[in-house]
Amino acid sequence: MDGLMQFIFSGLTVGAVYALVALGFTIIYNASDVVNFSQGEFVMLGGMITVFTFEAGLPLPLAAVVAIAVTAGVGVALNKLAIEPARGAPVVSLIIITIGASILIRGASQLIFDKQLHRFPAFSGDEPLQVLGATILPQSLWVIGGALLVFVALWLFFTKTLTGKAVLATANNRLAAQLVGINTNYVMTLSFALSAAIGALAGVLVTPITLVGYDVGVGLALKGFAAAMLGGMGNPKGALVGGLLLGLCEALTAGFLSSQYKEAVAFVIILAVLFVMPQGLFGRKSTERV
């Protein structure tokens, strides 16, 4: 089992990246049943804006805050300009709108920023930590910690706060939610702002590891989406477990079997899980309302 610890560390690092992206899908999905395919672009924006404001001279923490705030603003704009006017359209149309938005954001950032890859310094340096004969970068711990933090925050939000419950209620039945006094427009705006902010936070945390360019969003969104499906769409616990599981599968396959098959094995496992549990590991059972 030589190298096992290294494979696990690699899996946890990559898995935490997937989990952070997957967690971003959760809120919008819970508020509207829409899978937001521009989530990857939010991650990209988080990274890119941080890079450019940091290089313009802002201190890193401030640059990160600016990036998260601006991206949340982009999320709100997306809801106000594209999703809200199409209110009443079927969910599939809304999903297609988010795909369109992702293409738009990608094209715009290619013009506003540039087409190069970028990176900013890791928060706690690049010196690897030695643990049990394997190495892990301090930034990986930041990513894992960030994923756990977002998970706990989301879990508290959905179970302990009135606003969180209002979000769930809006998804369940928009009309009924309005009848009991929930401002559903506000809930939708809030959910886009929060999802975009989580995406941007993910971008800030992962950029020192994955690097960022205008086109990294697609790949990240795809893996994050796979992780969210594996764990169960809409459940923060599912996003966390799904992401880590996917990362570990890939790393262990690459380590013990062959790197040629690592994606294939990961996706076969996802297919197998979804075959037995169509809602994913922790997904809510879909019950038809009568």
Q: Is residue 55 a contact point for other proteins (CB under 8 A)?
A: no
Structure-token pair, residue 254: 């690459």
Residue whose C-alpha is closest to residue 18's, from 256, 270, 287: 270
Contact (CB, 8 A) for 199 and 46: yes
Structure-token pair, residue 39: 């989530």
Residue 6 CB, nearest distance to other proteins (Å)? 5
Question: Closer CB to other proteins, residue 15 or residue 232?
Answer: 15
Residue 94 CB, nearest distance to other proteins (Å)? 26
Interface region with other proteins, contact rule CB under 8 A, candidates 11-19, 55-63, 171-179, 274-282: 11-19
Q: Which amino acid is at 111?
A: L
Residue 135 CB, nearest distance to other proteins (Å)? 5
x-or-dash pattern for other proteins, window 134-173, by CB under 8 A? -x-x------------------------------------
Interface region with other proteins, contact rule CB under 8 A, candidates 19-27, 58-66, 69-77, 248-256: 248-256
Answer for which of 27, 249, 254, 270 binds other proteins (CB under 8 A) is: 254
SS3 58: coil
Q: Is residue 62 a contact point for other proteins (CB under 8 A)?
A: no
Structure-token pair, residue 218: 């697609």
Burial 77-95 (b: 16+ CB within 10 A, else e): ebbeebbeeeeeeeeeebe
Q: How far apart are CA 139 and CA 146, in angstroms?
A: 10
Q: Is residue 220 a contact point for other proteins (CB under 8 A)?
A: yes
Q: Is residue 281 a contact point for other proteins (CB under 8 A)?
A: no
Contact (CB, 8 A) for 268 and 260: no
Answer for which of 116, 179, 288, 289 binds other proteins (CB under 8 A) is: 116
x-or-dash pattern for other proteins, window 120-139, by CB under 8 A? ------x-x------x-x--
Q: How far apart are CA 105 and CA 78, in angstroms?
A: 10
Q: How far apart are CA 248 and CA 227, in angstroms?
A: 12
Element (H, E) at 137: none
Interface residues toward other proteins, by CB under 8 A: 2-3, 6-7, 9-11, 13-14, 17, 115-119, 126, 128, 135, 137, 206, 209-211, 213, 216, 219-220, 223, 251-252, 254-255, 259-260, 263
